[in-house]
A and B are shown apart, each in its own frame.
Chain A
């Protein structure tokens, strides 16, 4: 027996959730699908495929105040903003939810990042299984699946009669308290088939190809537009800077990208990664070598956003394939 919610009861449930949570869900903003806070269930755009940006920004915002700096009667005070609101991300894709698992390893390791940790603790993830795959999708090759429930609190799967409701965690249990669920014998649809991408030995292959001129060749067409980093649910490079606005001084954290030419430039002008090749090697080195060595997973969930967004068609699947071939070539050349 499975738990099921009808389409009309889903609407009622979402409207009930709105009383308790800030509900962040896919909406249509001009021609783009984006996760935004909604006011009512009708605002939600369910046929979104994949959103232009991942919902990463709701736990790790593009710009956030780490603390404000105020001086009153000669006394300086540093204060972090309160982050106690309860959020619920509705219809998050399994790949994007897996992105949070990857960010958790970075931001929740001691000393935990208070901003991320508080938002993480106060956010419930209601997943939506994918009924079809897009050409750029490859989640199954990097540890995920279109119906993977392991990183969400509740997983919804669309069926003819409405949505199957798989409650995964206690947080999920609390969120469905107000949902009208019915027990029914429904066979879940089989997930879409994805074209596999080989990741076998990719960590070693990246290391072997480290000093190959491949990176400069690949980077030749990169425009360092930074889009690949900003759309990615797993990228987390950031900048910390002060900002004064109308007499208010704040220390901000902002998204950054390792593809930006000045990313590693130190005071005085020295830049350890002066070429586009060195910077692109940092991007793929981080995803395929450094992060896996440190945390055990590839820093990619196969959402395909960078592939779809890159203006010059740099494709991580092709990069992995190239690296594997290069590795083999250099090994056989040495033998």
Chain B
């Protein structure tokens, strides 16, 4: 009966923290980076999260939706989300200016086990907006560079304008034992880099599976073909990690929208190895 009679009033798990839009940066024609400051100083101080976790962002009057956190808490410089203008909530958020009020509810979900990856070579593959949740992974590794082996980043997008976090590329590429491969499906007059699909870049590069972890994130079609190339290179399913997306309404394993068979993207994920994914009952 203790669950029914809480000693202190329990807090409503649907109540978001109020936050203020501090900065909006146009990353690509349809993706904006939002920097949010949680209004309550105590909440701001205690808001802890890890790369891979997500939170719900509210556009009050329109609704809320889950998005990956793309900043790191110890930066103490606000909570960041990269949002592609694609649905009703993201459209409403894209219309907001600095100073606007939004809601943040979270963090939820598991995270990339970066502690366990220490000493390993890391291969990061991101396609389009899929690169966004990988940014805090890259930044964590760069901040603790000696803890990790070689870092290879493959970042691809439809066109040069669609590459996210372009202003960070220099600092990534010049870090020790770090290689950044940028690629686009279609170049333009200013593009001197690769024009190739991500799976071909992987095939060309032939990363070694020895003591390595591959983290991939992107559209399903990219995942499918990249996964095939990695397997040809003898990467085992357990060495390949991704983060899944699903429609969600609660983040607490209750609304029954994000379950894939008996696993919940919100509570068991969103980070899964392909070994775990191979046991999922339904397609994702």
A residues apposed to B, CB below 8 Å:
66-67, 69, 71, 76, 78, 80, 104, 106-109, 111-115, 117, 120-121, 207, 210, 236-242, 244, 249, 251, 253, 256, 258, 263-268, 270, 272-273, 278, 282, 285-286, 289-290, 293-294
| A-B residue pairs in contact (CB < 8 Å), sample of 15 | A67-B15, A71-B101, A80-B15, A109-B3, A111-B13, A121-B4, A210-B261, A238-B249, A242-B61, A251-B14, A267-B65, A267-B90, A272-B284, A285-B261, A290-B262
| B18 lies within 8 A of A290 (CB) | no
Shortest distance between the CB of B38 and any CB in chain A (Å): 13
B249 close to A107 (CB less than 8 A): no
Q: Closest CB of chain B to A165's CB: distance in Å?
A: 22
Interface residues of A, dominant DSSP = mixed
Per the 8 Å Cβ criterion, residues 45-66 of B in contact with A are: 58, 60-65
Min Cβ gap B236→A in Å is 24
Report B237-284 residues with CB < 8 Å from chain A CB.
Answer: 245-247, 249-250, 252, 254-262, 281-284
A258 to B254, CA, bound (A): 12
Residues on B lying within 8 angstroms of A by beta carbon are: 3-6, 10-16, 18, 58, 60-65, 86-90, 101, 103, 220, 245-247, 249-250, 252, 254-262, 281-284
Given known pairs A113-B254, A268-B87, the reply for A78 and B246 (CB within 8 Å) is: no
Q: Which of A121, A237, A242, A268 contacts B86 (CB 8 A)?
A: A268
Q: How far is the CA of A75 from the CA of B11 in the complex (A)?
A: 21
In the assembled complex, the Cα of A272 lies from the Cα of B5 at a distance in Å of 39
Given contacts A111-B10, A251-B14, contact A272 B256 (CB under 8 A): no
A267 to chain B, nearest CB (A): 3
- Assess whether B262 is in contact with A289, with CB atoms less than 8 Å apart: yes
Query: What is the minimal beta-carbon distance from A192 to any residue of chain B, in angstroms?
Result: 31
Q: 14 new A-B pairs (CB below 8 Å) besides A71-B101, A240-B255?
A: A67-B14, A78-B15, A112-B6, A113-B254, A114-B12, A117-B3, A238-B250, A242-B62, A256-B255, A266-B246, A267-B89, A267-B90, A268-B86, A282-B256
Number of A-B contacts (CB under 8 A): 122
- Residues in B with CB closer than 8 Å to A244 are 61
Known contacts A272-B260, A286-B256; A104/B246 CB under 8 A? no
Residues in A neighbouring B5, C-beta threshold 8 A: 121
One of B13, B63, B261 near A242 (C-beta < 8 A): B63
Assess whether B246 is in contact with A210, with CB atoms less than 8 Å apart. Answer: no
Residue of B nearest to A71 (CB): B101
Expressed in whole angstroms, the minimum distance between the Cβ of B40 and any Cβ of chain A is 12
Residue of A nearest to B5 (CB): A121
User: A108-B4, A121-B4 given as contacts; is B254 within 8 A of A238 (CB)?
Assistant: yes
From residue B104, how far is it (CB to closest CB) to chain A in Å?
12
Residues of A within 8 A of B247 (CB): 263-266
CB within 8 A of A240: which of B249, B261, B283, B284?
B249
| B4 touching A117, Cβ below 8 Å | yes
Complex: A294 Cα to B259 Cα, angstroms: 12
Q: Which residues of A contact B249 (CB under 8 A)?
A: 238-240
Which residues of B are found within 8 Å of A293, using beta-carbon distances?
A: 262
Answer whether A242 and B12 are a contact pair too, CB < 8 Å, given A108-B3, A117-B3, A268-B86: no
Tell me how far the C-beta of B251 lies from the nearest C-beta in chain A, rounded to whole angstroms.
10
A80 touches B12 (CB 8 A): yes
Report yes or no: A240 in contact with B256, Cβ–Cβ below 8 A. Answer: no
A-B pairs with the 8 shortest C-beta distances?
A267-B87, A111-B13, A114-B12, A108-B3, A237-B256, A290-B262, A240-B249, A66-B14
- What A residues does B255 contact at CB under 8 A? 237-240, 256
CB distance B3 to A104 under 8 Å? Answer: yes
A237 to B249, CA, bound (A): 10
Q: How far apart are the CA atoms of A115 and B14 in the complex, in Å?
A: 10
Tell me the complex Cα distance, A236–B90, Å: 27
Contact B282 A107 (CB under 8 A): no
**Bound state CA distance, A128 and B13, in angstroms?**
34
How near does chain A come to B119, taking the closest CB pair, in angstroms?
35
- CB of A240 within 8 A of CB of B246, answer no
Nearest-Cβ distance from residue B1 to partner chain A, whole angstroms: 9
The answer to whether A258 touches B256, judged by C-beta atoms less than 8 angstroms apart, is yes
Query: What's the nearest-Cβ distance from chain A to residue B157, in Å?
Result: 16
Q: Residues of B contacting A249 with CB < 8 Å?
A: 60-61
Q: Point out the residues of chain A lying under 8 angstroms from B245, CB to CB.
A: 266
Give the residues in chain A near B258, CB-CB below 8 Å.
264
Q: What is the bound-complex CA distance between A286 and B264, given in angstroms? A: 12
CA distance A263 to B256 in the complex (A): 9
Q: B11 near A114 (CB under 8 angstroms)?
A: yes
Residue of A nearest to B13 (CB): A111
Contacts of B252 in A (CB 8 A): 111
For A78, what are the chain B residues with a Cβ–Cβ distance below 8 Å? 15-16, 18, 103
Name the residue on A nearest B87 (C-beta): A267
Chain A proximity of B146: nearest CB distance (Å): 39
Which residue from chain B places its CB closest to the CB of A66 in the assembled complex? B14
Chain B residues, CB < 8 A from A107: 254
Q: Tell me the smallest distance from the CB of B150 to a CB of chain A, in Å.
A: 34
Which of B10, B60, B64, B87 interacts with A112 by CB under 8 Å?
B10
For A285, the chain B residues whose CB sits under 8 A away are: 261-262, 281
Give the distance in Å from the alpha carbon of A240 to the alpha carbon of B16 in the complex.
13
Question: Once bound together, how far apart are the Cα atoms of A207 and B65, in whole Å?
Answer: 31
Closest to A262 in B: B247
